[in-house]
Amino acid sequence: MLTTVPGIEDIVVREITMKGFNVYSWYKIGITELSGRLIVETDEKILKNIRNFRTIEKAYLVIDEGTIPGRDLESLKKLITHINVDPIVDMFTPHTTFAVRSVRAGDHEFTSMDVSRLFGDKLRNSVREKLGFYPIVNLDNPDIIIELDVIGDRYVLAIEIIHRSLRQRSYRVFHHEATLNPPLAYAMNMLLNYDRYGKHVLLDPLCGSGTIIIEGLYHYVNSTYYGVEIYVHNCRGALRNIYEAEVHDRACIICSDSTRLSSFIRYCDGIVTNPPYGIRMRTIDDSLRKFYVKILEEFSKVLRDGGKIVLISPRRGLVEHAAHVSKLEIVERREVEQGGMISTIYILSR
């Protein structure tokens, strides 16, 4: 079971196959389409490589899954009584510490706390029965994290493979207030759908701390990325992250104003970007509307014929209006959840 940014589950599957692993089957598990949780049947050797994946946040080994008999507490108790915990019990020694966690979504008459408490009791008693000792609970820093999720009428019992979320990138030494989640930045670069090994000139004209550039250079291994950012403080920060990520030989940051982009950039093969989206006030809306039109017109001027723009914004109306005015074709729209808010990734073409 893998977790990711809700809305890019299929891109996770693409990354798995791109890295040479087979995907025998996969499906999302959630109560809405934007679940951010998928179960993938794939090769066992992926476990050794899981830390190299860039669109995944967390990974679990599924022990059991199925349907929960009902939505009340009795049904939960019945389910927990019937779950076979032998594969988990065999992992314990007298010194192994563990924690049980639970994600619950949907309409139930019990909470996620009920799930973890009841399942934790069952596990403790099973270890005692089979191995002769009670295992040690450690909620802060356990050796084994077991997750029993109840999502709608489905349950999944799984063991966490990586404790720290892979979204935390070690290159991030400078933090921007509107940083894009790195797995999302990587997925947006994948959505350009250019040859990974080609020599492209790519551009993020509103680059903030450089997340899109760094993730893009990890994906497009022979390409060059230009970033434009209006604030010098952010430019310095982006450069620090880029150095830390060791992609500085293929990146360049320009401290300038992207509403005048075509006056200092002549050409690029593709644009991936995350424009500012402001706050909900009418006056700001009007100037933001003009800003979106201006930047999209500029993007269109510097983009090669047939080149693509991948852009994320929660301001659907502003993007659609600006794309129309600047004669960019909307090739695809994809909804994703970004910081508790629904945003749209647009693929635009010239």
Ligand X SMILES: C[S@@+](CC[C@H](N)C(=O)[O-])C[C@H]1O[C@@H](n2cnc3c(N)ncnc32)[C@H](O)[C@@H]1O
Site for ligand X in 236-295 (CB under 6 A): 257-259, 274, 276
Cβ proximity to ligand X, 133 vs 231, nearer residue:
231
Cβ–Cβ under 8 Å, residues 309 and 205:
no
The one segment of 70-78, 85-93, 225-233, 320-328 that binds ligand X by CB under 6 A: 225-233
The one segment of 86-94, 130-138, 218-226, 228-236 that binds ligand X by CB under 6 A: 228-236
What is the smallest separation between the CB atom of 299 and ligand X, expressed in angstroms?
12
Which of 230, 252, 254, 325 forms a contact with ligand X (CB under 6 A)? 230
Cβ proximity to ligand X, 46 vs 303, nearer residue:
303
Residue type, 134: Y
Which of 114, 149, 229, 269 forms a contact with ligand X (CB under 6 A)? 229
Which of 231, 236, 284, 304 forms a contact with ligand X (CB under 6 A)? 231
Phi, psi at residue 59, to the nearest 5°?
-135, 140
Q: How is residue 29 written in tokens? A: 């598990």
Cβ proximity to ligand X, 102 vs 258, nearer residue:
258
What is the smallest separation between the CB atom of 323 and ligand X, expressed in angstroms?
18
The one segment of 27-35, 86-94, 229-237, 338-346 that binds ligand X by CB under 6 A: 229-237
What is the smallest separation between the CB atom of 258 and ligand X, expressed in angstroms?
4
* Nearest partner of 225 among 240, 208, 203, judged by Cα: 203
Site for ligand X in 157-216 (CB under 6 A): 176, 178-180, 206, 208-209, 211-212
Cβ proximity to ligand X, 116 vs 209, nearer residue:
209
Helix (H) or strand (E) holding 344: strand 341-349
Give the Cα separation of 119 and 62 in Å (integer): 16
Cβ proximity to ligand X, 176 vs 219, nearer residue:
176
Site for ligand X in 87-116 (CB under 6 A): none
> CA of 11: how far to CAs of 39, 70, 147, 183, 252, in Å?
13, 33, 24, 10, 27
Cβ proximity to ligand X, 131 vs 254, nearer residue:
254
Cβ proximity to ligand X, 149 vs 229, nearer residue:
229
What is the smallest separation between the CB atom of 216 and ligand X, expressed in angstroms?
11
What is the smallest separation between the CB atom of 19 and ligand X, expressed in angstroms?
24
> CA of 214: how far to CAs of 11, 179, 247, 272, 350, in Å?
18, 13, 7, 12, 25
Q: Which residues of 50-70 are buried (b: 16+ CB within 10 A; e: fewer)?
A: eeebbbbbbbbeebeeeebee
Site for ligand X in 57-76 (CB under 6 A): none
Give the Cα separation of 194 and 182 in Å (integer): 19
* 3-state DSSP assignment of residue 251: strand
Cβ proximity to ligand X, 102 vs 326, nearer residue:
326
Instruction: Report residue 89 CA to chain centroid gap.
Output: 32
| 314 binds ligand X per the rule CB under 6 A | no
Residue type, 45: K
> CA of 295: how far to CAs of 61, 231, 238, 304, in Å?
45, 17, 21, 16
Per the listing, tokens 């982006």 go with 238
What is the smallest separation between the CB atom of 147 and ligand X, expressed in angstroms?
29
Closest residue to ligand X, judged by C-beta, is: 208
Total number of residues binding ligand X (CB under 6 A)?
A: 19
Burial of 136 (C-beta count, 10 Å sphere; 0-12/13-18/19+): middle
Instruction: Report residue 98 CA to chain centroid gap.
Output: 27
Cβ proximity to ligand X, 35 vs 209, nearer residue:
209
Helix (H) or strand (E) holding 306: strand 303-313
Please give the residue ranges that form the binding site for ligand X (CB under 6 A): 176, 178-180, 206, 208-209, 211-212, 228-231, 234, 257-259, 274, 276
